[in-house]
Each structure stands twice: as C-alpha cells, then as structure tokens.
C-alpha cells in the first residue's frame, strides 16, 4: 500500500486564492486599481516575483486587467473571463452555482442538447437507441440510491445524447460542468421528484426511437423552464 505525498498550497496559489476571493466576494470591484507589485509584496509578506507571476495569471483568467504604465485594475470577469474563471467561481461557491449561474447553465444545456436530440432522432440508429435504453435502466435502478448516484446517472444519460452525435467538443463542455451539474441535478430532483425525472428520460428515449425530435425537444424545454421557474420563485 502506497500513500501519496501531501503537498501544501504554494505561496503563489495562496496569493491567487486570496485575490480571487476578494474579487468574487465584491471586496474588490471592477475598475478598482490594485496597489503596485512592490506594495502588494511588502503588505502580504511575499516576493515581488510571486506577485508579478500571480497578477499575470489572474489577468489570463480574466480577473485583472494589466494596463501598461497605468497599473493593474480589477476586470469585469463576466466579460473577460474564460473556463478557468468559471471553475474559480464554482470553487468559491463550494461547488454549487448561485441562481443566476444555474439558470445560465440550464440555458447552455438547451444549446447543446436540443440539436443533439434532433440529430439522434433523425438517424434512429439502433445502437444509439440501445445505449440510451441501457443508461435509462441505470437511472431507474438508481432511483432508490443516494441522490448523488441518481444525479450522476442522469448526467451520464444526458451527456450521452450529446456524445452519440460524434461531436467531440460538446461532451467536454458538459464534463467541465460535472460538479456543478451534479449539484444542479440533485437540486432539480428536490423540485421535480425522482420518479417524474425518470419518466421524462423514458419518454425522451421513446421519442428519439420513433424519430419524433420535436416532441423530445419540447419535453426537454418544458422541464428546463419548469425548473427555472422554481428557482426564480425560491429566491
């Protein structure tokens, strides 16, 4: 039996974490000017090199804007950020996105899954149908399991709809949101119920099998809109 070495966060990682938290908490707001690198190094008790490298990393992830000869400013990360920014936000929120982000995530699912449903329904490939039926059965079996197991089975079914189209990018996007998606699915089941959620999947499989993409997409949209409505009313 071999245990792996436990490494503490580096000084640079601690610097990044502190600045990210100050920005995400609102303590530092878009447009705020940061102290100079030397001032930050002296205040935080770290080297100027670490501060310099950290600022460059935070600029890369969209949190900071480095203006030559003018200074370093907090950026509007919702406009300048990227996938790493999103991961930082999700980490800050403990893996569960807030309502605004959750609704954005649901809208992203519509963009990814609706075209995939239409494509699979038009193909009516027996091997694709068999795969969806197998995953549907796994969801049914997980109804009585813990919520994370059930949510993971749901996620795999929905991701497979996208994967079966042959698009190699969309599944990666869905995987990037795995942690947030599992939290969202668990939350969804609190509103909708596990049995009703399973029945939606069963109907989706049947619609795709019969080539009825419009009914499958309409059902999917109805579920998404119902959940979004629940989230907004819960605020």
State the alpha helices, DSSP H only, in the chain.
11-24, 37-44, 48-60, 77-80, 83-92, 99-123, 126-142, 147-163, 170-176, 178-192, 194-209, 213-234
pLDDT tens digit string along 152-204? 999 999 999 999 999 888 888 888 777 777 877 887 887 788 999 999 999 99
Q: In order of start, what are the domains of the chain with their CATH numbers? A: 11-85 (1.10.10.10), 95-234 (1.20.120.530)
**What pLDDT does 90 receive?**
75
**pTM flag (> 0.85):** no
Higher per-residue confidence, 2 vs 77 = 77
> Mean pLDDT throughout 208-214?
96
Please tell me the predicted confidence (pLDDT) of residue 228: 85
């Amino acid at each position: 039996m071999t245990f792996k070495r436990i490494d503490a966060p580096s000084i640079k990682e601690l610097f990044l974490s502190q600045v990210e938290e100050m920005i995400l908490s609102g303590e530092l707001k878009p447009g705020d000017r940061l102290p100079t690198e030397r001032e930050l190094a002296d205040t935080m008790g770290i080297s100027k090199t670490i501060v310099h490298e950290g600022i460059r990393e935070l600029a890369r992830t969209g949190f900071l804007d480095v203006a030559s000869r003018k200074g370093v400013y907090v950026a509007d990360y919702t406009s300048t950020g990227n996938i790493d920014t999103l991961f930082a936000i999700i980490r800050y929120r403990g893996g569960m996105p807030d309502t605004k982000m959750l609704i954005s995530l649901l809208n992203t699912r519509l963009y990814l899954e609706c075209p995939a449903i239409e494509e699979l329904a038009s193909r009516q490939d027996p091997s694709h149908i068999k795969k969806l039926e197998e995953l549907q059965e796994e969801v049914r079996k997980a109804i009585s399991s813990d919520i994370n197991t059930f949510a993971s089975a749901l996620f795999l079914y929905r991701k497979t709809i996208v994967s079966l189209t042959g698009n190699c990018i969309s599944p990666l996007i869905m995987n990037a949101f795995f942690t947030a998606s599992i939290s969202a699915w668990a939350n969804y089941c609190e509103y909708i119920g596990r049995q009703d959620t399973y029945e939606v999947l069963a109907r989706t499989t049947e619609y795709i099998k019969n080539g009825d993409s419009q009914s499958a997409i309409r059902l999917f949209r109805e579920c998404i809109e119902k959940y979004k409505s629940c989230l907004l009313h819960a605020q």
